[in-house]
Structure 1
Amino acid sequence: MPAPIPQDRPIRWGILGAGGIASKVAADIARAEGNILAAVGARSAERAADFASRFAIPRSYGNYQQLVDDPELDVIYVATTHPSHHDQALMAVQAGKAVLIEKPVCLNAAQATAVFDAARAADVFAMEAMWMRTNPLIGTAQRLIADGAIGDVVAVRAELGLGRSFDPTHRLYDMANGGGALLDLGIYPVTFGWLFLGRPDTVSTMGSLAPTGSDASVAMQWGYSDGRDAQLSCSAPHAMPNRGLILGTRGWVQTQGRFYRPTGLTVLSDGEQTELPDPIGPESAGYGPEVAEVARCLRAGLVESPVIPHADTIAILGLLDDARAELGVRYPGE
């Protein structure tokens, strides 16, 4: 069990990577009480220094090894693209640092298992940055359903499509950069289905490929022996409503806005409809609850979060592995 970080000391974050997602999460780390941005590392000293100046970070490094070796850091947020996550997370773990790894945690379930096994062996905390699972409205939906507000859950619907035209240089289509709708987008509806229905008994997958060989659009039908089902889809080129819907025997819960970062919930229970607002507010990008969960776990001396357990992360990646295999999508080096 890692030594708990005292309540009277801030959690000191290192940011590995200086791209767009790093900027969004860093801004919410800076807003989070009891957390501070202490260092950043990028592939060039200039890029790291620029990032540091924008967020008032005291130390910047021109390579990742220097960052993870910084003795004044408690946790490393791995904010690069997913083909790099495995090696960079292991680098941080081997340096004795806790890690929050941007989703998907790795390219496949085997890599994710290796990272989490290494973290346990090193007695350090590791978590996938699946921020949707820490969102308070998603938690509210889970509690309402557990309390029977919509009866027994019978079906889940979720889709995520960006409407981004084919561009072989964009990360969504670039196989060398882990391109494809499933890993970048589909992980959200698949996780949503998992949260409210659990592991499916049967999976049917269909989809289309981009000229680069990446999966462009994918639809998955999940079946369960008791008759429940899930319809989950994702698309890089096609725009979608990006809503999530949980259907029950007495009503339903529907997300407002993008389901992975909802702006509200609509709940129908026994014919009565209720609107629940977003408790986070528009000033935050929505990563604050994820940051708070990491801090809570570090202060409790945990190696994994009960909200985003390692087994779930690996199992969900396994479902994506199977879907990619059915479509014939394989990344360089796999």
Structure 2
Amino acid sequence: MPAPITHDGPVRWGVLGAGGIAGSAGADLRDTPDCTVHAVGARDQRRARATADALGAPHAYGSYRDLVSDPDVDVVYIATTHGQHHEHALLAIEAGKHVLVEKAFTLTQRQAREVIAAAGERDVFCMEALWTRLHPLVRLAGDLVAEGAIGDVVSVTADLGWPFPYDPAHRLFDLDAGGSALLDLGVYPATYPLLFLGVPEGTTATGSLSPTGSDATAALQLSYPGGRFAHVACSVEAVMPGTATVVGTRGWLRFGSPLYRPSELVVHSPAADPEPRVHTADLPGSGYGPQFTEVARCLRAGEAQSPLVPHAATLALMGLMDTARAALGTRFAADGG
């Protein structure tokens, strides 16, 4: 098990990457209690310095290796593109650093297993930055379902889509960067059936590919024992509602758009209350704070993984993405063969 962080002062973060997510999520990290951005690392020193200045970090490095070699960095936030997560997570872990890895965690389940195994061998904390699992309304919904508020869950539907102009060099279409509607958007709706129904016993998928071979639209049908099911869809070619609905034998829950950061949770259980109940939760900034709070808590407690975003959940999600990509025909070099 990792040794608990006991030093005085907040948990010291290194941000690996200087792109869009490093700036938006990094701003929330900067403002999260018991956290401070100590350093930013990028391949370009000027970009690293600009991002570090924006996040109030005293140090900026022109290489990722220099960042992970900083002895004062407690944990590294991997904020590069999907195709780089495996390499960069292993780089930080090999340096003895705890890691929070942006979603999608890796390109494949095999890569995910390798990162998690490496973290275990080095006794460091490792978590996927699937911030939706930590949203207060998603956690509330989990509690309500566990309490039987809507009876037994029988189905989940969820989708997320937004059109992006086709550009073969854009990260959504570039296979070398991990271009994939499933890995960029689909991980969010796919998280809902995993949360409320578990790992499916069967998965079918249909959709379309972009000219580069990346998946552009995907629709997944997940089957469970007893006739339970889930329908998940994502697209970088069309606007989708961006909502999720969990149906039970005595009621239903609906997460308002966008489902990755639900605007509201509507709970309808007619036997208990004829009128739906609406729950809201105001999160500061862009809403990433809860994931950084959870990482800091785990590091203070000496935990190897978070019970809210466990390794098993990451592996299940990556396995689902592998199955769907294989059905659609999206292949990365990391798939081998």
Give deviations 1:44-74, integer Å, cap 9, x for gaps: 1111111111222100000000000000010
**What CA distance in whole angstroms lies between the structure 2 residues aligned with 1:275 and 1:122?**
45
Asked whether the equivalents of residues 204 and 327 of structure 2 are also in contact (C-alpha less than 8 Å), the reply is: no
Distance 1:333 1:145, change over 3 A: closer
Asked whether the equivalents of residues 204 and 222 of structure 1 are also in contact (C-alpha less than 8 Å), the reply is: yes
Show the counterpart of 1:266: 266
2:24 is the alignment partner of 1:21: no
Show the counterpart of 1:275: 278
Amino acid paired to 1:284:
G
**TM-score where L is the length of structure 2:** 0.96
Higher mean C-alpha displacement, 291-300 vs 305-314 = 305-314
Show the counterpart of 1:314: 315
**What CA distance in whole angstroms lies between the structure 2 residues aligned with 1:55 and 1:313?**
28
Quote the offset at 1:191 in angstroms.
Answer: 1.2
Quote the offset at 1:173 in angstroms.
Answer: 1.2
**What CA distance in whole angstroms lies between the structure 2 residues aligned with 1:200 and 1:135?**
23
**What CA distance in whole angstroms lies between the structure 2 residues aligned with 1:324 and 1:117?**
24
Show the counterpart of 2:128: 128
Quote the offset at 1:152 in angstroms.
Answer: 1.1
**What CA distance in whole angstroms lies between the structure 2 residues aligned with 1:240 and 1:117?**
37
2:326 is the alignment partner of 1:325: yes
Show the counterpart of 1:294: 295
**What CA distance in whole angstroms lies between the structure 1 residues aligned with 2:250 and 2:225?**
21
Moved beyond 4 Å, runs of 4+: none
Asked whether the equivalents of residues 162 and 235 of structure 1 are also in contact (C-alpha less than 8 Å), the reply is: yes
**What CA distance in whole angstroms lies between the structure 2 residues aligned with 1:45 and 1:277?**
41
**RMSD of aligned alpha carbons:** 1.1
Quote the offset at 1:314 in angstroms.
Answer: 1.0
Quote the offset at 1:177 in angstroms.
Answer: 1.2
SS at match of 1:115: helix
Quote the offset at 1:164 in angstroms.
Answer: 1.7
**What CA distance in whole angstroms lies between the structure 2 residues aligned with 1:30 and 1:327?**
39
SS at match of 1:4: coil
Asked whether the equivalents of residues 163 and 240 of structure 1 are also in contact (C-alpha less than 8 Å), the reply is: no
Give deviations 1:195-245, integer Å, cap 9, x for gaps: 011011111111111111111100001111211110100001111010011
Asked whether the equivalents of residues 218 and 233 of structure 1 are also in contact (C-alpha less than 8 Å), the reply is: yes
Amino acid paired to 1:67:
L
**TM-score where L is the length of structure 1:** 0.97
Show the counterpart of 1:204: 204
Give deviations 1:159-200, integer Å, cap 9, x for gaps: 010122322222111112111111111111111110011011
Where structure 1 has 5 or more consecutive residues not aligned to the other structure, the ranges are none
Amino acid paired to 1:321:
D
SS at match of 2:179: coil
Give deviations 1:21-51, integer Å, cap 9, x for gaps: 0011111111111111100000111111111
SS at match of 2:320: helix
Asked whether the equivalents of residues 136 and 279 of structure 1 are also in contact (C-alpha less than 8 Å), the reply is: no
Quote the offset at 1:284 in angstroms.
Answer: 1.5
**What CA distance in whole angstroms lies between the structure 1 residues aligned with 2:181 and 2:55?**
31
**What CA distance in whole angstroms lies between the structure 2 residues aligned with 1:287 and 1:244?**
20
1:32-181 aligned within 5 A? 32-181=32-181
Where structure 2 has 5 or more consecutive residues not aligned to the other structure, the ranges are none
Asked whether the equivalents of residues 107 and 334 of structure 2 are also in contact (C-alpha less than 8 Å), the reply is: no
Asked whether the equivalents of residues 218 and 233 of structure 2 are also in contact (C-alpha less than 8 Å), the reply is: yes
